Structure 1
Amino acid sequence: MRRNNLKATLALAGLAALGACADNATAPNAPQFQAPLARQLSMEPATVNVGYFSKSPVITMGMKHGFFAAENITVNAVQTASSPQIFRNLRDGVHDVILTQIDNVFNYRYNQSNPIGATFEPVAFMGTDWGNGAALVTRKGITSVEELRGGTVAVDSPNSGFAFVLYGILRAHGLQKDVDYTVIVPKKADGTQDSGTPARFTRLQNGEFDATILNSGFQFRAEAAGYPVLGQIQDAADPFMGGSGVVRRDWLDNNQDLAIRFIRAYVAAEHYVLDPANRDELIAQLKSESNGNALVATRTYELLLQQGAGLTPDASIDVQGLRGTAELRNSFGGFDDPQNLSFLTSPASGMYDLSAWRLATQANGWKE
């Protein structure tokens, strides 16, 4: 384990410097790269409540192999049914960390019209992925995107990250939002939202709509079952930043040491996931989560390794991709008020904060 940590240390130190340069290129007046961590972190035992939509293989391996335990962290991971619910839980302190599309931070930080009825201060403090291969998947029998004209498409939330990917793919094929198709949000019989990726996959199979966006291996499960895959993220935006770890501003301010420890554990687990020596274990885990389908598990694993689609290196945030994500939202009127996108995607905006990430990924931020 010490040898792996040393290799991780060398790689992470270089990436941290690159991350600092990327921030400064985006916002010339941003603070310079922080000084190395020059004190002992508080290692008090802590439980971190993590909300998610689809299972994260990084979190799974981190818990299974003791990467979080090594940081004296117990992870309580809870699946959540929709983006409004996961952000409501973050706001109310039910979740400490949520794994969600970074685009959603724009919605709940800047738009009073968001589904929970008010803004608050969510902040992305680490990245997770470039979108995990989010793809347009349709019901059986559809052979082209153009055939969705007049149809019904399902989203997690009309103003959420992957909704804009869906709109963007359809726009690339000449279909206009609010004109050529109807957008719905799946709900349970009691009226509560049931619109996360796993739920949309099930409801697509039930024939409740014509198309949706699926990722994190669900697109492969659908394709294996005969559902056409007719579009990719790149059809809507390229570059694009997808998933992130998000916390409340006050939580990050009050728990910097814990945030550093969480990121260290996550990055160590990510290295484990990406290590070719662990390929068979990862595929076996993913197979158990995909109804025993080995081909789906293998494709899901291979996606994790794919540059620009899978896991972002060392839990980094792709700032150029973030700009592409913001431009996609803006192109569909996704902000209540006009925004300066250069400012919005810079550290100065406060919508992301890499201070804990930098300290976690510096050579002397790792425990030996």
Structure 2
Amino acid sequence: MTRVRSLTLAAATAALIAGSAPAVAQTRLTIMVFAGMQNLPLFAAQSQGLFAKRGLEVDMKIAPNSDELRNGLAQGRFQVVHAASDNSVAMVEMAGADAKIVVGGDNGMNRLFVQPDIARLEDLRGRTVAVDAPNTAYAFQLYEILRLAGLEREKDYKVQVVGATMKRVDALMADKTLAATMLNPPFSLRAAKGGLKDMGEATAKIGPYQASAGFVLAKWARENSDTLVKYLSAYVEGVRWSSDPKNKAAAIKLVADKLKLPEEVAAAGYDLLMTGMPKDAALDMKGFENVLALRTRHTGKPTRPAADYVDLSYYQKAIAGM
């Protein structure tokens, strides 16, 4: 056997052995989110390999409504969820679950949309408004905006449960008896193009608000702390990639592809997200305290101190290690 042939055979044998070696094991996570622009950092973490390089395989599910999201987390079908922070509070106060908010997100970018015949908020008297769930998050935003306009729930207007934002915008476009709802991008942009009337941004009326947040079950976090820190590191890196001006065109194309949006809609949604998301998706405690104040006002039940619902130790470790 010649030396060249021997080297070739050795190289082929080495390649065969390498090819038959088991791949590096990855930790699988199933997460649930609501459809929307707020998922851009997660899209980035997947498309840029930020999860994969940390040994994570993340399967992202889209929530049809907040009940499924909360129930799935409580039952262990999802390990991490991203949704309005009040959903985590609801798990604690309504279901007795030990849920903890571990990372912030955006301020919701929510706007109140109404049917074209509504000239002012007072015109919603006697009408029906659409919500995801009647006792959480953006429903409380809607009730508060109407309260400030002098309208009381049930007495002055009715509430109909419709589901997630993507369902509510479809419902208002199809059913004129549904007079109002809260919408965020890209659905707010679609509503405006479809002829629904924009009555303004929620935070301009109710003050700072911590909308999107990532939350988990405390027990799962304790038992999987290393995995959670890796996940949060990838998420924050996704936030940084998304907000880097040099990546703007790529980020717009990414969200357009993922959400099946025209590029101009994706571009407008991107600009809104950049104004609504703080650096590194940090939790806005003042905004979160307002979330709790709204829950207390519209349920009549006091909440615990804001710190009781939050555990940022994993987030802090993630930031420190980046």
TM-score (norm. length: structure 1): 0.77
Q: 1:355 is matched with which residue?
A: 313
Write the deviation string for residues 131-168 of structure 1: whole angstroms up to 9, x where unpaired.
Answer: 1x111111233232221111100111111100001111
Partners of 1:197 and 1:323 in 2: how far apart? 24
1:227 shift after superposition: 1.0
Q: 1:69 is matched with which residue?
A: 52
Residues 1:232 and 2:201 aligned together: yes
- SS at 1:323 equivalent: helix
- SS at 2:299 equivalent: coil
Which residue identity does 2:313 align to in structure 1? S
Which residue identity does 1:75 align to in structure 2? V
Q: 2:306 is matched with which residue?
A: 345
**Aligned partners of 1:169 and 1:235 also within 8 Å:** no
Write the deviation string for residues 227-284 of structure 1: whole angstroms up to 9, x where unpaired.
Answer: 1111322244212111100111111010110111001100111111001111112222
Residues 1:49 and 2:30 aligned together: yes
Residues 1:88 and 2:71 aligned together: yes
1:288 shift after superposition: 3.8
1:292 shift after superposition: 4.2
Q: 2:20 is matched with which residue?
A: none
- SS at 2:206 equivalent: coil
Q: 1:197 is matched with which residue?
A: 165
Q: 1:331 is matched with which residue?
A: 297
**Aligned partners of 1:221 and 1:290 also within 8 Å:** no
1:98–1:225 CA distance, 2 compared to 1 (3 A): same
**Aligned partners of 1:53 and 1:79 also within 8 Å:** yes
1:286 shift after superposition: 3.3
Which residue identity does 2:64 align to in structure 1? A
1:325–1:205 CA distance, 2 compared to 1 (3 A): same
Write the deviation string for residues 14-49 of structure 1: whole angstroms up to 9, x where unpaired.
Answer: xxxxxxxxxxxxxxxxxxxxxxxxxxxxx9621111
**Aligned partners of 1:98 and 1:247 also within 8 Å:** yes
Partners of 2:66 and 2:110 in 1: how far apart? 16
Q: 2:241 is matched with which residue?
A: 272
Residues 1:126 and 2:84 aligned together: no
Task: Among all aligned residue pairs of Structure 1 and Structure 2, give the percentage whose two residues are the same amino acid.
Answer: 29
1:76–1:289 CA distance, 2 compared to 1 (3 A): closer
Q: 1:284 is matched with which residue?
A: 253
**Aligned partners of 1:80 and 1:86 also within 8 Å:** yes
- SS at 2:135 equivalent: coil
Which of 185, 195, 209 is matched with 2:161 structurally?
185
**Aligned partners of 1:82 and 1:156 also within 8 Å:** yes
Partners of 2:287 and 2:44 in 1: how far apart? 27
Q: 2:271 is matched with which residue?
A: 302
Listed as ranges, the gaps of 5+ residues in structure 2 are 1-23
Listed as ranges, the gaps of 5+ residues in structure 1 are 1-42, 112-117, 187-194
- Aligned length in residues: 296
1:79–1:275 CA distance, 2 compared to 1 (3 A): same
CA RMSD of aligned residues (A): 1.7
